[in-house]
Amino acid sequence: MADDSRRKLLDWAKRFQIIGGTARGLVYLHQDSRLRVIHRDLKTSNILLDKDMNAKISDFGLARTFAGDQTEARTKRVMGTYGYISPEYAVRGSFSMKSDVFAFGVIVLEIVSGKKNREFCVPHQSLNLLGHAWELWNEERPLELVDESVRNSVIEVEALRCIHIGLLCVQGRPEDRPNMSSVVRMLEDDKPLPKPRLPAFYSHQEESMGRDDGVSANERFQIIGGTARGLVYLHHDSRLRVIHRDLKASNILLDKDMNAKISDFGLARTFAGDQSEATTKRVMGTYGYISPEYAVHGSFSTKSDVFAFGVIVLEIVSGKKNREFCVPHQRLYLLGHAWELWNEERPLELVDESVRDSVIEVEALRCIQIGLLCVQGRPEDRPNMSSVVRMLEDDKPLPEPRLPAFTRTMKNLWEEMMKFQQMRLPFHR
> What is the CATH number that goes with domain 217-423?
1.10.510.10
Q: From its phi and psi, is residue 161 left (phi > 0), alpha (psi between -120 and 50) or beta?
A: alpha
pLDDT band, residue 110 (cuts 50/70/90): very high
Distance CA 249, CA 246 (A): 10
Phi/psi of residue 283, nearest 5 degrees: -80, 125
Which is catalytic among the residues 3, 11, 32, 41?
41
Residue 387 predicted with pLDDT over 50: yes
On whether the pTM is more than 0.75, the answer is no
Residue 57 predicted with pLDDT over 80: yes
* CA 13 to mean position of chain CA atoms: 32
User: What average pLDDT does the segment 265-282 reach?
Assistant: 91
Range(s) of the chain covered by CATH 1.10.510.10: 4-188, 217-423
352 is catalytic: no
What three-state secondary structure class fits 76? coil
pLDDT band, residue 428 (cuts 50/70/90): very low
8 A C-beta contact, residue 378 and residue 257: no
pLDDT (tens digit per residue) in 184-228:
999 999 999 999 999 987 754 433 444 455 789 999 999 999 999
What pLDDT shows up at residue 127?
76
Q: From its phi and psi, is residue 273 left (phi > 0), alpha (psi between -120 and 50) or beta?
A: left
Nearest to 401 by CA among 357, 365, 356: 365
Mean pLDDT of the chain: 88
* CA 379 to mean position of chain CA atoms: 22
What pLDDT shows up at residue 368?
98
> What is the CATH number that goes with domain 4-188?
1.10.510.10
What pLDDT shows up at residue 425?
42
Residue 237 predicted with pLDDT over 80: yes
Distance CA 370, CA 362 (A): 12
Nearest to 163 by CA among 189, 195, 185, 191: 195
